[in-house]
Amino acid sequence: MKRLVIFSSTLLLTAAVFAFAALAQAWNISGKYNIAFSTNEASGIFKTFKGSIAFDEANLAASNFSVSVDVASINTGNALMNKHAKSDEWFDAAKYPEIKYTSKKIVKAGAGYQVTGDLEIRGVKKEFTIPFTFKRTGNGATFDGTFKVNRNDFHIGKPGGDVADMISVTVAVPVVKA
Amino acid sequence: MLKKLSLLALLAVLVGGLSGVAGIVYQKVYIETVGEGFVNIASTANIFKYTLAGAFVAAIGYFLLSLVLKGKTEMVFNLLFVILTFASILGPIGAKLPLEQDMPELFPGLAVPMHFFPALGWFALKPLFGKSI
């Protein structure tokens, strides 16, 4: 009986140590983020962004992102363009209110990192890789990323037309330690 | 000729000033009604700048037309002023506001009526000058 208690305690302690080591630093998204997009015809931002971020440069295997953008928070600076962007021809905000991204793997890539995960827009989920940098500043840090999304992959708008197929996206997300 | 130009300049100042005041009053009413006045874009200085510019452009246009059309100036000018005023509302409708500005859909409701103030001011004040202009 005594052996069983000692064995169980040791096992629990070991598991706890490994569990602690396996957890990456959790970060809270600060309010001053910027999720911007631009094409040849339009540019704008998404004003509402939320999610959970766990990231540790020394423990990429345990790092993960699960974030979402509120489609209705799109702002191009023009009322007609906002209405058009939210319509069923483009983002269809009523039917698909969120753009979601959930990471599956994060790797070091040059001076920065690359996260591969599932990007879901307009109900279409595709594996998508985003390059980003991570800079620590005191108790906080900032994630920066720039990438292009082919809108046709997610059935955003009609193919061709005045708006280019490739949409440039810039993400700057300041975070603080949770 | 000089007298006519001076009176047109005076009319432009009066029309621009009155339209500016009307614009500011309308902005206050708009803020009270919908809670947004776009005061960084439609600032007091900007409102006066644009109403005065509109009134001076109208005065210059009136003067140039009077050189060509003589007796038919009033009729043609008024028609042109109305058409151009209507055309100008495309400006605020198509305007791209700074991205940090909330509720851009409320901007045309503020700015479009303001575009009519110089024309209204002109039509209200011009008769006071009689045949002098």
The answer to whether the CB atoms of A82 and B98 lie below 8 A apart is no
Q: Does residue A159 fall inside a structural domain?
A: yes
CA distance A76 to chain B (A): 6
- Quickly state the pLDDT bin for A56 (edges 50, 70, 90): very high
Tell me: pLDDT of B131 over 50.
yes
Lowest mean pLDDT segment, chosen from A14-18, A33-37, A40-44, A117-121: A14-18
The tokens describing A153, both together, are 């992959």
CATH number of the domain residue A81 falls in: 2.40.128.110
The answer to whether the CB atoms of A79 and B96 lie below 8 A apart is no
Would the CA dihedral through B71, B132, B115, B32 be positive or negative?
negative
Closest CA relative to residue A103, chosen from A124, A130, A121, A134? A130
* Confidence at residue B6, expressed as pLDDT on a 0 to 100 scale: 94
Q: Does residue A156 fall inside a structural domain?
A: yes
* Confidence at residue A8, expressed as pLDDT on a 0 to 100 scale: 59
- Quickly state the pLDDT bin for A4 (edges 50, 70, 90): low
ipTM computed for the complex = 0.76
Chain A residues with CB under 8 Å of a chain B CB are 36, 44-45, 75-83
Tell me: pLDDT of A43 over 60.
yes
C-alpha distance from residue B121 to each of B28, B112, B115 (Å) = 19, 15, 11
- Domain span at residue A115 reads 45-166
Residues of chain A contacting B104 with CB distance shorter than 8 Å:
75-79, 82
Query: Residue range B41-57: average pLDDT?
Result: 96
The tokens describing B120, both together, are 């209204």
Terminal CA-to-CA distance of chain B, rounded, Å?
9
Q: Does residue A9 fall inside a structural domain?
A: no
* Confidence at residue B2, expressed as pLDDT on a 0 to 100 scale: 84
Taking only the tens place, the pLDDT of each residue in B13-25 is 999 999 999 999 9
Query: Residue range A165-173: average pLDDT?
Result: 96
pTM: 0.80
Query: Residue range A148-152: average pLDDT?
Result: 96
List beta partners, residue A165.
none
Query: Which of B38, B41, B96 has the most A C-beta neighbours within 10 Å, making it the best mutation to test the interface with A?
Result: B96
Q: What is the bridge-based pairing of β-strands A74-75 and A140-150?
A: unpaired
* Confidence at residue A21, expressed as pLDDT on a 0 to 100 scale: 47
- Of the two residues A22 and A75, the one the predictor is more confident about is A75
Cβ neighbours around B11 below 10 Å, total: 23
Tell me: pLDDT of A171 over 90.
yes
Looking at the structure of chain A, the number of domains it has is 1
- Quickly state the pLDDT bin for A18 (edges 50, 70, 90): very low
- Quickly state the pLDDT bin for A1 (edges 50, 70, 90): low
Question: How is A100-167 classified by DSSP, letter by letter?
Answer: EEEEEEEEEETTEEEEEEEEEETTEEEEEEEEEEEEEETTEEEEEEEEEEEGGGGT-S-SSSSS-SEE
Q: Does residue A12 fall inside a structural domain?
A: no
**Averaged pLDDT of chain A:** 90
* Confidence at residue A20, expressed as pLDDT on a 0 to 100 scale: 45
* Confidence at residue A17, expressed as pLDDT on a 0 to 100 scale: 45
Taking only the tens place, the pLDDT of each residue in A75-94 is 999 999 999 999 999 999 99
Nearest to A79 among B98, B99, B105 (CB): B105
Q: Does residue A11 fall inside a structural domain?
A: no
Query: Residue range A117-143: average pLDDT?
Result: 96
Taking only the tens place, the pLDDT of each residue in B61-85 is 999 999 999 889 999 999 999 999 9
Taking only the tens place, the pLDDT of each residue in B87-117 is 999 999 999 999 989 899 999 999 999 999 9
